[in-house]
């Protein structure tokens, strides 16, 4: 198990957003985390990347205890988080946004290689490399956000609602890219999604959260076929 979370609890002030969550994700697995609004999906991701401090519980990553570590340290341990809502910095150019992902590595040559790699994955970004990133379309921004995460050579990728606000065709494209990246780079991915069907279709593992608690964990395909899950989250 590369990522092992046990009894993780996170509070927002007095509200318990994540309640005693335990999950285990093996290396190379794409795990979809689904659930309704306010189920604690985003908070869970933020706690894993260090943006939110957990109240209690333990997070283990590659056998090391990382509970409550800061994001700037976790990035160096291979954990990359693409936060909700096309997390790019509009004031910077596409290239600068990408360079940001590798900024902690301080190695010019490696940065160049990573840049070439990302451009080969997302040729569209290559075409717009020196534009300011607020000139990009929604889908391109999401590619840029994922590209930035790739720049830091992650082993664990945390993606928060990459499909948010995108056209259906673009969503399909983004999901396919995520699937391909997972397989090619042997990444471990946690994909938080409102679009439960789309996410489960590409995922290996499905995790259902409700009111801060894990209510179901199973193979993604099994969840799609589970009548209860279908009724509650897939809408048919």
Partner 1 sequence: MQLLNTLLIGITAGSIYSLMAIAFVLVWRSTRVVNFAQAGMALLSTYFGYEAVSRFGSFWIALPVAMIGGALFAALVELVLMRLLVKHASSGPIAGVAPIIATLGLLGVIKSAITIIWGGQDQRIVAPISNNGFTVNGSTLVFSPLKLFILVVVVILLIILSILFQKTNLGLALRASAHAPEIARLSGIKVDAVRTLGWALAGAAGAVAGLFQTVNGNGNLSPDSSEFSLLLVSGFIAAVIGGLDSLLGAVLGGLFLGIAISFVLMYVSSGLFFIAPFVILLLVLFIRPQGIIGVKVGRRA
Please report whether residue 76 would count as binding partner 1 according to CB under 8 A.
Answer: yes
Contact 195, 202 (CB under 8 A): no
Q: Between 108 and 227, whose beta carbon lies closer to partner 1?
A: 108
Residue 10's DSSP bridge partners are: 18
Task: Find the part of the chain contacting partner 1 (CB under 8 A) among 69-77, 161-169, 192-200, 207-215.
Answer: 69-77
- Options 42, 43, 87, 195; binder of partner 1; rule CB under 8 A: 87
- Among 51, 79, 98, smallest CA distance to 187 is for 79
Strand order, beta sheet including 56-61: 15-25, 3-12, 56-61, 64-65
Burial class (CB in 10 A: 0-12, 13-18, 19+), 130: exposed
User: Minimum distance from CB of 150 to partner 1 (Å)?
Assistant: 12
Please report whether residue 92 would count as binding partner 1 according to CB under 8 A.
Answer: yes
Q: Between 198 and 227, how does the x/- string for binding to partner 1 read (CB under 8 A)? A: ------------------------------
Q: What is the dihedral of CA 81, 84, 90, 94, to 10 degrees?
A: 40
Please report whether residue 71 would count as binding partner 1 according to CB under 8 A.
Answer: yes
Please report whether residue 70 would count as binding partner 1 according to CB under 8 A.
Answer: yes
Task: Find the part of the chain contacting partner 1 (CB under 8 A) among 89-97, 136-144, 161-169, 208-216.
Answer: 89-97
Residue 186 and residue 2: Cα distance in Å, rounded? 12
Please report whether residue 152 would count as binding partner 1 according to CB under 8 A.
Answer: yes
Residue 190's DSSP bridge partners are: 31, 158
Q: Between 96 and 226, whose beta carbon lies closer to partner 1?
A: 96
Residue keyed to tokens 């990302």: 118
Please report whether residue 51 would count as binding partner 1 according to CB under 8 A.
Answer: yes
Residues numbered 16 to 35 that lie near partner 1 (CB under 8 A) are none
Burial class (CB in 10 A: 0-12, 13-18, 19+), 55: middle
Please report whether residue 103 would count as binding partner 1 according to CB under 8 A.
Answer: yes
- Options 29, 42, 43, 49; binder of partner 1; rule CB under 8 A: 49
Taking only Cα atoms into account, the Rg of the chain, rounded to an integer number of angstroms, comes to 17
List interacting residues with partner 1 (CB under 8 A): 49-51, 70-72, 75-76, 80-83, 87-92, 96, 99-101, 103-104, 106, 148, 152
């Amino acid at each position: 198990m590369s990522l092992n979370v046990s009894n993780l609890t996170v509070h927002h002030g007095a509200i318990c957003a994540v309640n005693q969550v335990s999950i285990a994700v093996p290396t190379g697995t794409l795990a979809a985390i689904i659930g309704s609004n306010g189920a604690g999906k985003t908070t869970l991701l933020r706690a894993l990347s260090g943006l939110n401090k957990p109240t209690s519980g333990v997070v283990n990553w590659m056998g090391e205890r990382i509970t409550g570590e800061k994001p700037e340290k976790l990035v160096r341990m291979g954990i990359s988080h693409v936060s909700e809502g096309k997390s790019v910095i509009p004031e910077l150019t596409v290239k600068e946004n990408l360079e940001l992902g590798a900024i902690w590595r301080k190695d010019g040559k490696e940065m160049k290689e990573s840049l070439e790699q990302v451009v080969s994955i997302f040729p569209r970004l290559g075409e717009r490399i020196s534009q300011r990133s607020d000139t990009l379309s929604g889908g391109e921004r999401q590619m840029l956000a994922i590209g930035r995460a790739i720049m830091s050579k992650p082993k664990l990728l945390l993606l928060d609602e990459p499909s948010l606000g995108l056209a259906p065709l673009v969503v399909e494209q983004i999901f396919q890219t995520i699937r391909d990246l997972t397989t090619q780079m042997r990444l471990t991915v946690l994909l938080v999604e409102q679009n439960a069907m789309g996410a489960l279709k590409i995922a290996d593992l499905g995790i259902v959260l409700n009111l801060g608690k894990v209510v179901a964990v199973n193979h993604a395909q099994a969840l799609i076929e589970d009548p209860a899950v279908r009724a509650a989250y897939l809408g048919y």
